[in-house]
Structures are given as C-alpha cells and as structure tokens.
Structure 1
Amino acid sequence: MEAVYSYQIPLPGHDLPMQVMDTAGHVDVVEEGREAQVSWGEGFMLVFSLTSHASFTALSRLRRVILELTPGAPRPMVLVGNKADLSHAREVNDDEIRDWADCWGCDYFEVAAPEPWDVVVRPFTALYQCILETRACK
C-alpha cells in the first residue's frame, strides 16, 4: 500500500516543500489505475535496497510505468541506493548501478539511515535542482 508523506527540507534562504509517494516497492500500486498519483509528480526518486538485487531490477519496470503514464512530460529522476551501511550484504554492484544511471540520464546516490542529515538530503536537493532546471526550460 502506498503512502504520501509531506516534508519541508530546510535550504539556505527557504524551505523546500516536497510530497513523496512511497510505493513500498510495489510497482503494481502504480500500474493499477494510479495515473493521478504519478501525474502530479514533477520529479521521481527511484529508490532501491543495495541488499536486494530484485528491488534494483524492479526499478526498470517502475521507470517504464512512469514514462508511460506521463507521455511527453519532462521527468527528472534520481537513482538512490539505500542501506549503504550494509556492505557485507550488498547484492547490487557499482558498475551495474552506474550503467543504469548513465543510460537513464540521472544522478546516483547511496544513503543509509544512520548517516547525517546532510548526506541523506543530497538526493532530495539534487532532484529539486533537476526540477528547477526543467521548469526553466518550459
């Protein structure tokens, strides 16, 4: 079941309002008549667990669904590997991740819950910058 969270990320000079739809890895939530939930997004953070190759490969399907549900619209995206602190359980290699990020034209970040706020917020601010650049091109 998806959930939508609202955040205010403090940036120099202003706060960044964000709404995040967490699909909890269930692409079918997005596919089953959920166009409205995808169409309101100005940008997309594709998050996977570095300890689950299946969660990584599921992103390809999720990205395809996003592209299909928002035809012709610019779709800024960032790719985020979570659980970076669990290197002993890592199932996704760096080369594969970098290949996907390059192919998809998006930035890649690795994060872990125990990391300081300034590290965890980097993908959010990068996505925001991509959204601002997209808005400027309209």
Structure 2
Amino acid sequence: MNASAGLSEPAVVSGGSTLKPYLRRKKSSLGETKVAVLGMEGVGKSALSVRFLTKRFIGEYDQSMEAKYKCTTSIDGEFIAFELLDTRSCNYDLGAREDVLRWADGFMLVYSVTSRKSFDILQDIYKKIEEAKKAGHAPLIVVGNKCDLTHVRQITQDEGIKLATSFCCPFLEVSASEDVLKVTEAFHILCKEIIEFKRRSRTFLDRVFGLKKS
C-alpha cells in the first residue's frame, strides 16, 4: 500500500474475536487519539476507515471481524498518533460494547443515507455512549455515508444535521467510494474535537487542583 502525504502506513494491531481482550484503556496524550467507528452493518464503516488510512476504496469486507489500526496523520501541521477501531455490528450491541466505549476517546457514528434503519439506530448507540461516559460529553461526529447514491436516498441532509445538533456534534455527508477528501475531513474533524476536549479537561483539572493547592 502506498502511504499518502502526512499519513504513515497503517498497522493492523489485531482483528476478529481476539480484539476484545486487548482493549485496555490507557490514558492518551494530546498528540494521541483513539477513535471507534460505530454504526449498523452495511453502512460502510470499513470502507470509510480504509479510505482514510490508504486512500483506496474497497467495497466488500468480512462483516464478522473487527480490526484495529495505528497510523500517524498530520493535522494543521501537527503529527497525531491515531488508533482506529473498525467495529463490527453483527451483535445486538452494534459494536458499542462496554470495553469499546471505555477505550475510545471519540466516536464516529455512521449511517447510510440509503437506509432509514441505520439512521434511526444511531439514537441507541448515542445513549450507550452517554451512559458509558458519565463524566462528560464524549467527542463525536455523525457521518452520513453513500451520499453519491441520490436515486435511493432515504435520509435528507437536513435530517442528518438535525440529528447531529441533538447530539451537540459536527456532521458531514460523505461518499467513501467517490470523495477521499471528505472522508479524511470527517476523521480530522473528529480528531480535532478529541484534542480540544482533552485540552478543556486538562484546563479544568488544573484549575481544580490549583485552587486546592492555593
């Protein structure tokens, strides 16, 4: 695979049923982000992940396996160590397992603009995230994939915007098959949200401990 500018060759850390035991939560620095891609089966989570990592589009994937990747990406001139978990949603939890929700710094919630069910189910995934992140709101982005399939569209862009607004997060419509720049933008937006969230959290902790010391 050819690595693109600013993006190192991705490394698969683990996949399939062996993944879960290794999702041990370690505190990440400002220059590290852990992202879980969540959504219903068939919405294009793997296509989006691989498009971002390699700039290539692959249409068919094994829906029964998870994969975790590591790479380095450049955002606004700063290199960020990126860990990406491409979840599988074959089970009732839609990939939003407790260990996944604890591990990730932020979440990409993906639906297909051609599937009403995949859109509606994001409400359930969002509730799981909020329950797991009781300490505060988790960085998110809502992504409507397959926007090139206008002839079979079921979800309008306004509906996507409204859903993201209710989650207090950014929104993008993308086409994993046709627009690599938009896909990259979606991951970079989420990465920036995560970094800003960490900065705010650290500032808050500094104020709290600073007051206790004074």
Runs of 4+ in 1 over 6 A off after TM superposition: none
Distance apart, 1:116 and its partner CA: 3.8
Report the residue type matching 2:89 in the other structure: A
Report the residue type matching 1:75 in the other structure: A
**Alpha-carbon distance in 2 for matches of 1:25, 1:104:** 24
Task: Name the TM-score, length of structure 2 as normaliser.
Answer: 0.58
Greater CA drift, 94-103 or 82-91: 94-103
Higher-Rg structure is: 2
- Evaluate the alpha carbon distance shift between residue 74 and residue 102 of structure 1 in structure 2; reply closer, same or farther with a 3 A threshold: closer
- Aligned pairs for 1:1-138 (under 5 A) are 1=64, 3-8=66-71, 10-11=73-74, 12-24=77-89, 26=91, 28-30=93-95, 34-138=97-201
Task: Name the TM-score, length of structure 1 as normaliser.
Answer: 0.86
**Alpha-carbon distance in 1 for matches of 2:92, 2:170:** 21
Question: How far does the alpha carbon of each residue in 1:30-59 deviate from its partner, in whole angstroms, 9 at most, with x for none?
Answer: 46xx31121011001000001001000000
Q: Give the share of equivalent positions with the same residue, in percent.
A: 29
**Alpha-carbon distance in 2 for matches of 1:25, 1:77:** 22
5+ long unaligned stretches in structure 2: 1-63, 202-214
Distance apart, 1:22 and its partner CA: 1.8
- Evaluate the alpha carbon distance shift between residue 96 and residue 117 of structure 1 in structure 2; reply closer, same or farther with a 3 A threshold: closer
**Alpha-carbon distance in 2 for matches of 1:3, 1:73:** 27
SS in 1 for 2:175: coil
